[in-house]
Amino acid sequence: MNSPLIQARGLIKRFGDFTAVDGIDVDVRAGEAFGFLGPNGAGKSSTMRMIGCVSPPSEGELRILGMDPRRDGPRIRARLGVCPQLDNLDTELTVRENLTTYARFFGIPRKVARARAAELLEFVQLSERADSKVDPLSGGMKRRLTIARALVNEPDLVLLDEPTTGLDPQARHLVWERLFRLKQQGVTLVLTTHYMDEAEQLCDRLVVMDGGRIVAEGSPRELIERYSTREVVELRFTTDEQGTYAEKLAGMADRIEVLPDRVLMYVADGDDALAEVHRRSLSPSSALVRRSSLEDVFLHLTGRTLVD
Amino acid sequence: MTASAYVLEYHLVNYRRTWRASALSTLVLPLLTMLGFGIGVGGYVTAGVDGVDYLDWLVPGLIASAAVQTAIGESTWPVLSYFEWLKVYFAQAAAPLRVADIVTGHLAFMLFRVLLSAGAFLLVAAFFGTLHSLWAVAVLPISALTGLAVAAPVMAYSASVTSDSYLAILMRFAVLPMSLFSGVFFPIESLGLLRWVAYVLPLWHGVDLSRAATLGVSPGWDGLWQLLYLLGWGAAGWSLAVRRFGKRLVV
């Protein structure tokens, strides 16, 4: 009953000499929203493709819905909903036909497919566009349609690869809200993202991947507690040499990070720390106390170097 | 089997949105070729070929050739774009379809298109009174088989390339010579050694079988071997296409 929907042990994916996924262990339980976080090239999408049964693992053990993807691909995919990173909707077809034709691939009778399409279009707020073609839809609408298509077989497990990448803030919030509703309905969500706010909003549990490995695992709260402090003080000084302040601030924070334009102090209590800064008359030109976020964890674990 | 039927159904729904544009050319093209070649060129070929009026001799070749043109048209750019631009195949691969279902369903749709254009041509040909025998209806299955013999391997080719300049190469170095040297416009006996182009490639076998059908001449045992040869191209092409599609979709 409580066996995990996804169970990976020592999962490896190689492409020639390149190892995209380098031995990861993952358990995703029914009803949870699970996230894969990481910079570009961390191995998130390769992992998702293995879970989606369109990419055979090179090594290791992978069980999905209690089945073996190497053998039971079609049977597993019948119970998955997949929302790929790039929309692959049918631009020639109408919004509704995109759902009804896709439903047929699952052997869903036409009548049921039509009813379900109507329901799902309602759910993703596209009912008014049901008979319009896909091409003129906005990015956010296309994304919602792709999500609706992933739900057409009433899946046990929905895979979302960077569900809101490239969307404007309004569109993102609408997608998040819909995904949150799905989660409340008990649908198990597995998503990849490099947006920290997305992970904090949606994920019960997540793993941070870097270079094909899992570097941290836990709930957003746990990860912040483990790898960051409760609060962060961001200080800017008028001089170009932010670095010279690092020594003066030493001992006042758990960890200090010097960036080209500001200095970050990782502390338990930001206001206390800032008061201490002022008491030592270090007088920064601006100061901001904020709660530590998953972004701090992420940057701490995967570094600030740009990955393309 | 049913899963490939779902894929075929998808392509038919898709076709419903675009068929008007292609319907006109499906009918007008045979009409123009009949008029141009048959009446125009045929006017000069007063002696006929093999004791038959040139137009009557030419028509079955044109039908087989049109079947192959349609097969090529459907198995090149659409296949490339379903991989490269529209990503249709990737969406299908995420559903509980197997690679073989995706290939077979699309191939079935291509044969449907081949049957439509061969059927339209056959109607026009009947209207011009160029069909000598009721066996002419056999042109339909022959066209489908010839279409399969071409579409399946070309599908494998299109799945192996990532840019349409490779499709242009295929057109120039394979399709064009095949159309010219497959006994569509003149008997291959006048080709000398080039005749082997006709023997090896699928089109001539389709032309020869269609000609026997519309002229009401028995193809004899050779006909059976030609059918099997076309089937062989189709089967080999299909299994190659499944492998090439697998390489792209399951990695």
ipTM of the shown complex: 0.89
Whether residue A55 and residue B2 make contact (CB cut-off 8 A), yes or no, is no
Q: Hey, how many other C-beta atoms are within 10 angstroms of the C-beta on A197? A: 14
Low-confidence ranges of chain B (pLDDT < 70): 1
* pLDDT at res. B35: 83
* pLDDT at res. B227: 98
CA dist B88 to A232, B15, B107, B215, Å?
A: 47, 14, 15, 43
Chain A contact probe: residue of B2, B4, B12, B14 with most A CBs at under 10 A: B14
Domain ranges of chain B: 2-249
* pLDDT at res. A306: 58
Residue numbers in A near B85 (CB within 8 A)? none
What amino acid is encoded at B154 in this protein?
V
Nearest CA in chain B to A71: B98
Residues contacting B38, CB < 8 A, separation 6+ = B54, B55, B58, B59, B128, B130
> From the CA of B5, how many Å to the nearest CA of chain A?
9
Q: What is the mean pLDDT of chain A?
A: 91
Query: Which pLDDT tens digit goes with each residue over A203-259?
Result: 999 999 999 999 999 999 899 888 888 899 999 888 766 777 777 888 888 888 888
> From the CA of B189, how many Å to the nearest CA of chain A?
47
Residue numbers in A near B14 (CB within 8 A)? 90, 92-93, 101
Strand bridging mode A33-37 / A205-210: parallel
Residue numbers in B near A73 (CB within 8 A)? 96, 98
> From the CA of B145, how many Å to the nearest CA of chain A?
27
Q: What is the DSSP string of B69-116?
A: HHHHHHHSHHHHHHHHTS-HHHHHHHTT--HHHHHHHHHHHHHHHHHH
Strand bridging mode A157-161 / A205-210: unpaired
If DSSP states are collapsed to H, E and C, what string results for A80-140? EEEECCCCCCCCCCEHHHHHHHHHHHCCCCHHHHHHHHHHHHHHCCCHHHCCCECCCCCHH
| φ and ψ at residue A185, rounded to 5 degrees | -75, 0
Residue numbers in B near A55 (CB within 8 A)? 250-251
> From the CA of B69, how many Å to the nearest CA of chain A?
23
Query: Which pLDDT tens digit goes with each residue over A125-159?
Result: 999 999 999 999 999 999 999 999 999 999 999 99
Residue numbers in A near B13 (CB within 8 A)? 93, 97, 101
Per the CB < 8 A criterion, the answer to whether A207 and A37 are in contact is yes
Six-digit token string for A51? 């879970």
* pLDDT at res. A201: 86
Domain ranges of chain A: 6-221, 229-291
* pLDDT at res. A305: 64
Whether residue A77 and residue B94 make contact (CB cut-off 8 A), yes or no, is yes
* pLDDT at res. A281: 83
Chain B contact probe: residue of A101, A133, A149, A190 with most B CBs at under 10 A: A101
Low-confidence ranges of chain A (pLDDT < 70): 1-2, 240-241, 304-308
CATH of A229-291, one of 3.40.630, 3.30.70, 2.40.360, 3.90.550: 3.30.70
Longest pairwise C-alpha distance within chain B:
60
Whether residue B14 and residue A90 make contact (CB cut-off 8 A), yes or no, is yes
Nearest to A56 among B93, B94, B250 (CB): B250
* pLDDT at res. B63: 95
Size of chain A in residues = 308
**Burial zone of A184 (CB within 10 Å; 0-12 exposed, 13-18 middle, 19+ buried):** exposed
Nearest to B6 among A55, A91, A105 (CB): A105
Whether residue A105 and residue B249 make contact (CB cut-off 8 A), yes or no, is no
> From the CA of B97, how many Å to the nearest CA of chain A?
6
Nearest one of A200, A272, A197 to A233, comparing CA atoms:
A272
Six-digit token string for A141? 């609408």
Nearest CA in chain B to A149: B91
The CATH classification number of A6-221 equals 3.40.50.300
